[in-house]
Amino acid sequence: MPLRNPFAPLSTSARRWAKVPAGALALTMFTLGAGLTATALPAYGDVTTNGYTISAPAERSVR
């Protein structure tokens, strides 16, 4: 059985099927990125102490 020339242009059906894994990968990456962005917690480090909390900075009144 002769091997296919890798430099020969793909047929229309082969090009169409080649887009399926690429589209699935793009959709997976978008969904994963959106999920990680939505669930990310803000990190705040107070430089005046050695404490570190995973939360938003506390509101402090200025005197």
Ordered per-residue pLDDT tens for the chain, 63 residues: 678 787 888 788 877 777 888 889 999 999 999 888 887 766 666 667 666 666 666 666 555
Residue 39 belongs to a domain: yes
Residue 1 belongs to a domain: no
**Dihedral Cα 3, 6, 10, 16, nearest 10 deg:** 100
Residue 60 belongs to a domain: no
Domain that holds residue 43: 12-53
Residue 2 belongs to a domain: no
Give the pLDDT score at 30. Answer: 94
Q: What is the tally of structural domains in the chain?
A: 1
Residue 5 belongs to a domain: no
How many C-beta atoms lie closer than 10 Å to residue 62's C-beta?
A: 3
The model scores a pTM over 0.85: no
